[in-house]
Structure 1
Amino acid sequence: MAHWAVKIPTRTPGEQPRTGVQWFTYPASRFPGRSDVVEKVREDVATEDAVRHRSGAVADVDAIKVVWHDDLL
């Protein structure tokens, strides 16, 4: 199944910038365009679950990287 993979650099307060990353994936069937994915990930990164998953580290949404994966084998 084709999907988008989104990599968001994270920074733990008090440490050097970009000390980790958080990944999100979205199916291409629900999010056909890159702009759709960027809009959705900006919403999702602020959710309580996402913040808890990255242990409170700050997500750098201005440095996201969106990659298309076509899973045809």
Structure 2
Amino acid sequence: MAHWAVEIPTRKPGEQPRTGVQWFTYPASAFPCRGDVVKKVREDVDTEAAVRHRAGAVADVDAIRVIWHDDVLS
């Protein structure tokens, strides 16, 4: 199944920038255009679950990297 993988660099407050990354994946069937994915991830990155998952690290939404995959999720 084709999908988008979105990488967002993260950093812990008080540390050097980009100390980690947080990944999101979205099915291409629901988000056919790259712009739709960027809009959705900007909404999702601030959800309670996303913040909890990155253990309080700050997401650098200006450095979002969107990658297209035309294969099966494993």
- TM-score, scaled relative to structure 1: 0.97
- Give CA deviations for 1:2-44 in whole Å, capped at 9, x if unaligned: 0000000001001110000000000000000000000000000
Given the alignment of the two structures, is residue 31 of structure 1 paired with residue 27 of structure 2, yes or no? no
RMSD: 0.8
Tell me, which stretches of 5 or more residues in structure 1 are unaligned? none
* Alignment length (residue pairs): 72
Q: Which amino acid aligns with 1:5?
A: A
The answer for the alignment partner of 2:20 in structure 1 is: 20
Identity %: 83
Structure 1: distance between partners of 2:15 and 2:4: 29
> TM-score by structure 2 length?
0.96
Question: Could you list the runs of 5+ residues in structure 2 that have no partner in the other structure?
Answer: none
Runs in 1 of length 4+ with deviation above 4 angstroms?
A: none
Q: Secondary structure at the match of 1:50?
A: helix
**1:1-73 paired onto structure 2 within 5 Å:** 1-71=1-71
